[in-house]
Amino acid sequence: MSTDTPDRTDAAAAETDRRGLLARLRASPFLSELLSNRLAVVGLSIILAIVLIAVYARLFLDPGALASSRLGTGIPDRHPPGWASSVPADRYLFGTDAAARDIFRRCLYGAWLAMLYGTITVGTSTVLGVGLGVVAAYYGDVTDNVVMRTMDVLLAFPPLLLALALVAVFPRELGLWRAVIALTLVYTPRFARVVRGAALKVLEDEYVDATVALGASDPRVLVRHVLPNCLAPITVQSTLNFGLAIIDLAALSFLGFGAQAGTPSWGLMLSNGVNNGLLTGKWWLSFFPGLFLAVTVLGFNLLGDGMRDALDPRMREAVD
């Protein structure tokens, strides 16, 4: 008997599993519907490009060098973009700011900061909001009233105003982290309300009653049966809130309640551009950070709308 028979069997099984996975992905109604939406594909392409830029910036750019002033080193400050002046375009592609720092490299590293802190903000608020929403829907009565009335109080305030009030409580030394904590508390009620509504619909199904009658524990019912059937609204809300988190982080940094001075954050770069160049015709100081910010948020909005349409075609028909 040949000794390589087991290896061939394992390789064949692995190839079958791989083909089976690819076939299931191709046959997925969600993916086929999502990829047939051109705007969603554009949004996904934008997000992938921003992610690649963020990874490149994290691996190859030095944040310390990008934050420190370059005045006195022979580099001109507030120099126009290379393609708009006599300086070679590969040297100052987006020009320099008031501290003679390269705006192009700072915009690239700003993508890493936006993706990093945006992910932490949305991820933390998703976990907290989903947990509170599912618990409120499942236990009801007093628990539901306490949780949801607390969420209603937070939702009664304008989001950015509430974030400003919360961020003022934390010390400035935390930098962008205090904006992350504030926005996490602001976004949590949105997830709680959405998930509670979805969980209430799931709890009306008979299989949930049957699972409880068979003696399943509360955590098992919530994790194995309720939560998986609430993933659609959670996914859409997370995608849409990602764009909001990025723009709110930039807004707080713009107002001086986020990134510390020198940090290559898009919001802080916009603020410095308005203060040091916009009113004097130095448009590039704020144009390019704003462009990166707008394109990134647009990508998440397009993808979120496409995911909503793919997961719930009835909502798309209602909107149309």
In a domain, 187, yes or no: yes
pLDDT band at 70 (very low <50, low <70, confident <90, very high): confident
Spatial separation of the C-alpha atoms in residues 190 and 187, rounded to whole Å: 5
In a domain, 221, yes or no: yes
Instruction: Count structural domains, the chain.
Output: 1
Q: What is the pLDDT of residue 18?
A: 52
Q: Looking at the predicted structure, is the pLDDT value of residue 293 above 90?
A: yes
Q: What is the pLDDT of residue 49?
A: 96
Q: Which two tokens stand for residue 154?
A: 């937070």
Residue 243: strand pairing partners: none
Spatial separation of the C-alpha atoms in residues 260 and 254, rounded to whole Å: 11
pLDDT in tens, 26-53: 566 767 777 888 999 999 999 999 999 9
DSSP 8-state assignment for residue 96: B
Q: Looking at the predicted structure, is the pLDDT value of residue 218 above 80?
A: no
| Ranges 64-73, 80-89, 176-185, 230-239: which has the least confidence | 80-89
Q: Which two tokens stand for residue 114?
A: 């936006």
77: containing domain: 53-319
CATH of the domain at 121: 1.10.3720.10
Q: Which two tokens stand for residue 140?
A: 């009801």
In a domain, 15, yes or no: no
In a domain, 8, yes or no: no
In a domain, 167, yes or no: yes
In a domain, 150, yes or no: yes
pLDDT band at 97 (very low <50, low <70, confident <90, very high): confident
Output the average pLDDT for the chain: 84
In a domain, 95, yes or no: yes
Whole-Å CA distances, 208 to 12, 135, 192, 196, 231: 40, 15, 21, 16, 17
Phi-psi region of 253 (alpha: psi -120 to 50; beta: other; left: phi over 0): alpha
In a domain, 27, yes or no: no
Q: Is residue 252 classed exposed, middle or buried when 0-12, 13-18 and 19+ CB atoms within 10 A define those classes? A: buried
